[in-house]
Chains A and B, each alone.
Chain A
Amino acid sequence: MVEAEAIELLLHKVVSRYGYDFSDYARASLHRRIDLFYTKTKQPSFTLMQERLMQDPVFFMNFVEQITVNVTEMFRDAGFYKMLREHVLPVLATYPFIRIWHAGCSTGEEVFSLAILLKEANLLHKSILYATDINQAVLAKAKTGIFHVATMRQNSENYIRSGGKEDFSVYYHANHNNAKFDSALSEKMIFSTHNLVADASFNEFQLILCRNVLIYFNRELQGKVLQLFDRSLDSLGFLALGSKESLKFSPIAGYYKQVVYNEKVWRKNK
């Protein structure tokens, strides 16, 4: 295992060279990922890897992609999507126009899941989904709307558990290993890089989803990001987090009410 000091030194150099600041990321996971990247890319030494990272922006972008976690699936936590259908979409339906921000969307599986929900609630035509991530590479993949066909069985099960009534295969065309999702779903998506550590608010939304991203941040950065979401939410907007994330202990907790007990959606009230 690489020494913690060497990793901290590398992160320090990364900020000055590229402006990507990982200093407020939770350490155990980040160190493990950097260790894995070092092993996987078979660099002759950690020092040489560091030099290459400083000189080679393509290699560096690959590093960013590998050290941040991009594991996702469609309708992850099906109960969460069921709750969105039952408690959040009926409220969003009352708006003339619905703006949604999916922060840390990774390869886009959850963005497509949400688009399917909106379509089934007959809201997609008046919605726009901003999907952002720190990684260009995962966004490029998300944009294609193509996912591996092997995941479709699980996706279909999740979809049904989320309250879906259709045959899930109506939403995609399978071709060899690929399942390409209906372009009617992606028409309403805008993909863009956005770094939660450094970038500002860019619109006002009725719903912000950021699931399993805050777990990688320390308490201070979690607070800062939640304040960014707070600034980016409509006065009665909804904020959705991952199943092990919470507004508890955050500076904005006082202005938000959990929509359903034990489900990770809060509504702003100020």
Chain B
Amino acid sequence: MAQEQINKAGLIIIGGSSGSLEVLMKVLPALKKDFAIPLIIIMHRNTVADSALTELFASRTSLNVKEADEKDALQAGYIYIAPPDYHLLTEADRTLSLDVSERVHYCRPSIDVSFMSAAVAYKNELVAILLSGANADGAAGIKTIKEAGGYTIVQEPGEAGVSYMPEQALLTNAVDRVMKGDELAEWLNNLK
């Protein structure tokens, strides 16, 4: 366990693309009821206006799940889902904001955009997790987070539904830890 490297986690941010839904459907229900760190999830979607993801996650956890709105203050006990067709950014005052600028890696929401702004806002209090996917989105964000003092985790490519996304992140040499999907919930539950 490397939790000792993390002084105090202020925000968890998780990015994923194809193959990551299965992982999250296992991780979220296993988070403890009083999980006290706000959590942001950036998922690539196939359909542009699909808000069903929020409802799906909400049905699997006792934590509050909400589609992120601009100016939302990040709160413990909440899971924020990036809305379809918007980039989700974190402000220095630890509120959220939205942006409809150009797609990044053909994606909006883009994991890189969210990771990079959270890195600036949370610095060494940020924990980022990059899951399965067939896209290079997230790798640059992992690098930025590491440079800003945050802690970075990727799903073990060998067990990821699609290994490309975690592999791209590993190429940056900015990953603190490689974990199996099944290990994530317990690790998160032990975070301070």
Give the complex CA separation of A79 and B51 in angstroms. Answer: 14
Q: Is A231 an interface residue, CB under 8 A from the partner?
A: no
Complex contact A27–B92 (CB within 8 A) = yes
CB < 8 Å neighbour of B97 from A1, A4, A28, A33: A28
Complex contact B71–A219 (CB within 8 A) = yes
Residues in A with CB closer than 8 Å to B116 are: 1, 32
Complex contact B99–A1 (CB within 8 A) = no
- Chain B's closest residue to A244 (CB) is B98
Q: Is B89 an interface residue, CB under 8 A from the partner?
A: yes
Residues in A with CB closer than 8 Å to B98 are: 215, 244
CB B151 to nearest CB in A, in angstroms, measures 19
Give the complex CA separation of A219 and B70 in angstroms. Answer: 10
Q: Is A212 an interface residue, CB under 8 A from the partner?
A: yes
Complex contact A1–B144 (CB within 8 A) = yes
Give the complex CA separation of A219 and B100 in angstroms. Answer: 18
Q: Is A86 an interface residue, CB under 8 A from the partner?
A: no
Contact with B along A218-260 (1 / 0, CB 8 A): 0100000000000000000000001011100100000000000
The bracket for how many chain B residues form the interface is 20 to 34
Contact with A along B133-156 (1 / 0, CB 8 A): 000000000001000000000000
Complex contact B69–A27 (CB within 8 A) = no
- Chain B's closest residue to A26 (CB) is B97
Give the complex CA separation of A71 and B100 in angstroms. Answer: 7
Q: Is B90 an interface residue, CB under 8 A from the partner?
A: yes
- Total of A-B residue pairs, C-beta within 8 Å: 58
Contact with A along B59-72 (1 / 0, CB 8 A): 00000000001110
Q: Is B117 an interface residue, CB under 8 A from the partner?
A: yes
- Chain A's closest residue to B83 (CB) is A244
Complex contact A29–B101 (CB within 8 A) = yes
Complex contact B69–A28 (CB within 8 A) = no
Q: Is A216 an interface residue, CB under 8 A from the partner?
A: yes
Give the complex CA separation of A69 and B71 in angstroms. Answer: 18
Give the complex CA separation of A113 and B71 in angstroms. Answer: 30
Give the complex CA separation of A23 and B116 in angstroms. Answer: 22
Tell me whether A29 and B83 are in contact in the complex, defined as CB-CB below 8 angstroms, given that A1-B144, A244-B69 are known contacts.
no
Contact with B along A121-152 (1 / 0, CB 8 A): 00000000000000000000000000000000
Of listed B101, B120, B144, residue having the most chain A CB within 10 A: B101
Which residues in chain A, 51-108, are within 8 Å of chain B measured between CB atoms? 69, 71, 77, 79
- Chain B's closest residue to A211 (CB) is B100
Complex contact B97–A215 (CB within 8 A) = yes
Give the complex CA separation of A71 and B110 in angstroms. Answer: 15
Q: Is B37 an interface residue, CB under 8 A from the partner?
A: no
Residues in A with CB closer than 8 Å to B186 are: none
Q: Is B35 an interface residue, CB under 8 A from the partner?
A: no
Complex contact A26–B92 (CB within 8 A) = no
Residues of A within 8 A of B (CB): 1, 4, 26-29, 31-33, 69, 71, 77, 79, 212, 215-216, 219, 242, 244-246, 249
List 4 additional contacts besides A29-B89, A244-B69; criterion CB under 8 Å: A28-B91, A28-B120, A244-B86, A249-B71
14 CB < 8 A contacts A-B: A1-B120, A4-B120, A26-B89, A26-B97, A28-B117, A28-B121, A29-B89, A29-B101, A32-B89, A71-B101, A71-B102, A215-B97, A219-B71, A244-B86
